[in-house]
């Protein structure tokens, strides 16, 4: 089953990196003239606030009628590279930016090209290089006098740190943006980054007035794309709070403005949010239409959160309408998009940690070289000292070397720990969705080669949203952890256990036959049914189980997931707190019975006695 309750907290990860392209100069607009220098500056200003004006200026500057100096031609090439990145042509933009950095004698232009290059490297999945180059730019920031260039790199630092999950660092750089220039366009962008960091940190209990104030700031600054980004946070929060009507009203009111930006990701984001909102109110026709719109408007050849959400919704719609072939097709696309998106999220966080460790390691290497130089100097000094004094120096040097070795060991251990954390769910400690699917697929292939049976079990806690609404998310998290611990007490070391999202878990039981699985699942059901929170009286938690076996469904993980999901759906519909094993024959009989009922006319009304 596909849950959407927790997905919105990370809904705008894909937008975040690409939005960095929009950080530009902050100057007052001037009338268009025939002066190439003024036209270049005017195009630089208009590229975020007035795309049509920007396109017209770029056409005039590129048509060959203007006489541009060598540096002005480089400035024009920089704006062309920016436009390539804005439209998604990263492969053309990156080499052009590298060429500008190599050729330009203008330090400010080289710096701005480097900042844009960092952004595109992040978009192109070169995360380690992006963070590494960002560190270099930040190291040189005190030497940069141009305020616009300073604001540009500070804004990108804030956004990249949001992507890496470093929200305190992101907020710090957003505040620094405001100090550099607290008005106009810069205030709009800095506030957007602060609100994005606050939203993604999952600390919001209510929106208050700060999000509406941020929207108004961007509207006054004539920055429709940033205003739309903040509106998307508000709409997502409304969906989390069970207010789809409010989300629909906000998104529809500003839908035309978003489409006018011609920015693929933000248009796709609005479409995906509208699809989810209409699904929540039961309007399947509009939910399907906006889901298809989200796919059509998404960035091509990229896996993003709106794309995965749209495919998941279309799968549920087709399944609910009885189109199993269409549902299967969308399910396959959803699995590919969701896996690709989750890989991107994990890669960004891991790249930040790796680069951070590399910086520390380089610092340790520099310190080690410094210590070695000191050792050489001390050795020269030891030749001039007595034997007694020399022994004391040798002991001191050995102590220094031991400290360096210890620090190196700790850095290596930290790197291994970060790699391990990337595979685990942060709350429960079991495998996250991405690693569970990878391990389950590997184990199924092993079982297939060795002709051994296996069973896939999907577990979903009953009425867990109502439980969270009643007792709060803190209590809900404790119950989730207790439920996981209770299940682990009945699992073998060879069983694979993971959290698929929200209150849904998956267990792969290798070397488990159809005759054995009923007893194993009943143990898990009873263990969860006894879970209660110590701080809340009379709290009882139950779970529904859907089971699929390789004997019936084969060894393909996709087929097992679909069949286990169908069995879980049947368990939910037949009263919850029970386990249902997928039976292909029984499932076909139910489908046949359901279709026959749909086609049978209602009986004629009987007269009253």
pLDDT at residue 220 above 80?
yes
pLDDT at residue 212 above 60?
yes
pLDDT at residue 508 above 90?
yes
Q: Label residue 13 by pLDDT band (50, 70, 90).
A: very low
Q: What angle do CA 133, 138, 142 make, to 5 degrees?
A: 140
- Average of pLDDT values for 82-95? 82
Q: Is 352 in a helix, a strand, or coil? A: helix
pLDDT at residue 382 above 90?
no
pLDDT at residue 447 above 90?
yes
- Rounded to a whole number, what is the distance in angstroms from the first to the last CA of the chain? 48
Confidence at residue 538, expressed as pLDDT on a 0 to 100 scale: 60
Taking CA atoms, 398 is separated from 231, 375, 388, 393, in Å, by: 60, 10, 16, 9
* Gap between the Cα atoms of 288 and 270, Å rounded: 14
| Residue tagged 């070391």 (tokens) | 493
Nearest to 452 by CA among 422, 494, 487: 494
pLDDT at residue 17 above 60?
no
pLDDT at residue 495 above 90?
yes
CA–centroid distance for 495 within its chain: 28
Confidence at residue 345, expressed as pLDDT on a 0 to 100 scale: 66
Pairing relationship of beta strands 454-461 and 504-510 according to DSSP bridges: antiparallel
Confidence at residue 348, expressed as pLDDT on a 0 to 100 scale: 66
Query: What percentage of residues in the chain have a pLDDT greater than 70?
Result: 84
Nearest to 278 by CA among 252, 315, 299, 298: 252
Higher pLDDT, 263 or 86: 263
Return the DSSP state at 272. Answer: H
pLDDT at residue 1 above 90?
no
In DSSP notation, 104-169 reads: ---HHHHHHHHHHHHHHHHHTT-HHHHHHHHHHHHHHGGG---HHHHHHHHHHHHHHHHHTT-HHH
Confidence at residue 392, expressed as pLDDT on a 0 to 100 scale: 78
Of 11-15, 140-144, 287-291, give the range with the top mean pLDDT: 287-291
Q: Label residue 417 by pLDDT band (50, 70, 90).
A: low
Confidence at residue 439, expressed as pLDDT on a 0 to 100 scale: 94
* Gap between the Cα atoms of 562 and 63, Å rounded: 56
Phi, psi of 31, deg, nearest 5? -60, 150
Mean pLDDT of the chain, nearest integer: 82
Confidence at residue 441, expressed as pLDDT on a 0 to 100 scale: 94
Taking CA atoms, 209 is separated from 212, 214, 233, 234, in Å, by: 5, 9, 13, 11
pLDDT at residue 303 above 70?
yes
Higher pLDDT, 480 or 531: 480
Return the CA Rg of the chain.
Answer: 29
- Average of pLDDT values for 48-53? 76
* Gap between the Cα atoms of 339 and 346, Å rounded: 11
- Average of pLDDT values for 67-71? 85
Q: Is 510 in a helix, a strand, or coil? A: strand
Helical H runs in 450-513? Answer: 464-471, 473-488
Higher pLDDT, 122 or 490: 490
pLDDT at residue 300 above 80?
no
Lowest mean pLDDT among 102-111, 289-298, 463-472, 542-551: 102-111
Give CATH for domain 433-594: 3.30.70.270
Confidence at residue 375, expressed as pLDDT on a 0 to 100 scale: 81
- Average of pLDDT values for 241-253? 92
Q: Label residue 136 by pLDDT band (50, 70, 90).
A: confident
- How many residues does the structure list for the chain? 609
pLDDT at residue 511 above 90?
yes
Name the residue ranges covered by the structural domains of the chain. Answer: 343-421, 433-594
CB atoms within 10 A of CB 468: 19
407: Cβ contacts below 8 Å, ≥ 6 apart: 364
CB atoms within 10 A of CB 271: 27
Lowest mean pLDDT among 83-87, 273-277, 346-350, 468-472: 346-350
- Residue 214 contacts residue 195 (beta carbons within 8 Å): yes
Give the tokens for residue 92.
Answer: 């053309």
Confidence at residue 208, expressed as pLDDT on a 0 to 100 scale: 78
Question: According to the 3-state scheme, what is the secondary structure of 4-24?
Answer: CCCHHHHCCHHHHHHHHHHCC
Confidence at residue 421, expressed as pLDDT on a 0 to 100 scale: 61
CA–centroid distance for 413 within its chain: 26
The pTM assigned to this predicted structure is: 0.50
Q: Label residue 344 by pLDDT band (50, 70, 90).
A: low
Higher pLDDT, 161 or 461: 461
263: Cβ contacts below 8 Å, ≥ 6 apart: 86, 225
* Gap between the Cα atoms of 337 and 306, Å rounded: 10
CB atoms within 10 A of CB 189: 32
């Amino acid at each position: 089953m596909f849950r959407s309750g927790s997905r919105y907290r990370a809904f705008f990860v894909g937008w975040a990196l690409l939005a960095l392209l929009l950080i530009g100069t902050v100057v007052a607009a001037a009338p268009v003239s025939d002066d190439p220098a003024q036209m270049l500056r005017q195009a630089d200003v208009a590229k975020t606030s007035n795309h049509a004006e920007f396109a017209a200026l770029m056409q005039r500057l590129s048509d060959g009628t203007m006489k541009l100096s060598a540096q002005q031609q480089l400035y024009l090439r920089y704006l062309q590279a920016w436009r390539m990145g804005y439209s998604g042509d990263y492969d053309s933009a990156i080499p052009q930016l590298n060429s500008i950095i190599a050729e330009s004698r203008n330090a400010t232009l080289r710096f701005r090209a480097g900042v844009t290059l960092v952004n595109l490297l992040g978009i192109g999945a070169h995360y380690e290089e992006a963070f590494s180059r960002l560190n270099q730019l930040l190291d040189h920031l005190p030497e940069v006098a141009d305020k616009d260039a300073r604001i540009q790199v500070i804004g990108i630092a804030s956004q990249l740190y949001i992507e890496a999950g470093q929200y305190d660092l992101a907020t710090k750089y957003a505040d620094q943006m405001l100090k550099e220039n607290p008005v106009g366009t810069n205030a709009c962008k800095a506030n957007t980054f602060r609100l994005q960091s606050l939203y993604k940190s999952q600390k919001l209990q209510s929106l208050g007035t700060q999000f509406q104030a941020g929207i108004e700031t961007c509207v006054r600054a004539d920055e429709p794309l940033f205003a739309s980004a903040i509106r998307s946070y508000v709409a997502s929060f409304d969906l989390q709070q069970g207010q789809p009507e409010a989300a629909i009203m906000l998104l529809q009111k500003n839908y035309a403005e978003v489409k006018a930006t011609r920015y693929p990701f933000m248009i796709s984001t609005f479409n995906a949010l509208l699809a989810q909102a209409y699904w929540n109110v039961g309007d399947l026709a509009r939910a399907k239409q906006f889901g298809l719109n989200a796919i059509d408007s998404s960035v091509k050849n990229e896996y993003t959160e709106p794309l995965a959400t749209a495919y998941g919704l279309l799968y549920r719609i087709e399944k609910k309408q009885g189109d199993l072939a269409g549902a299967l097709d969308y399910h396959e696309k959803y699995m590919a998009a969701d896996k690709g998106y989750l890989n991107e999220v994990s890669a960004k966080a891991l790249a930040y940690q790796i680069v951070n460790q590399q910086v520390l390691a380089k610092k340790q290497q520099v310190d080690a070289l410094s210590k070695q130089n000191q050792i050489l100097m001390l050795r020269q000094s030891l030749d001039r000292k007595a034997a007694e004094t020399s022994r004391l120096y040798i002991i001191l040097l050995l102590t220094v070397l031991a400290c360096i070795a210890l620090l190196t060991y700790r850095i290596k251990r930290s790197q291994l720990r970060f790699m391990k954390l990337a595979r685990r769910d942060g709350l429960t400690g079991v495998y996250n969705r991405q690693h569970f699917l990878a391990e389950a697929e590997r184990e199924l292939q092993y079982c297939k080669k060795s002709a051994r049976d296996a069973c896939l079990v999907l577990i979903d806690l009953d009425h867990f949203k109502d439980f969270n609404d009643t007792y709060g998310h803190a209590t809900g998290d404790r119950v989730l952890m207790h439920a996981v611990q209770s299940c682990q007490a009945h699992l073998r070391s060879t069983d694979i256990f993971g959290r698929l999202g929200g209150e849904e878990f998956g267990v792969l039981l290798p070397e488990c036959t159809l005759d054995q699985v009923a007893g194993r699942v009943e143990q898990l059901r009873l263990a969860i049914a006894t879970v209660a929170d110590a701080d809340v009286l009379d709290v009882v938690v139950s779970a529904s189980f859907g089971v699929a076996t390789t004997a019936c469904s084969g060894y393909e993980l996709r087929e097992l997931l679909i069949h286990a999901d169908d069995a879980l759906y049947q368990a939910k519909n037949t009263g919850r707190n029970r386990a249902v094993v997928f039976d292909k024959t029984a499932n076909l009989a139910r489908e046949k019975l359901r279709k026959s009922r749909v086609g049978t006319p209602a009986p004629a009304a009987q007269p009253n006695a």
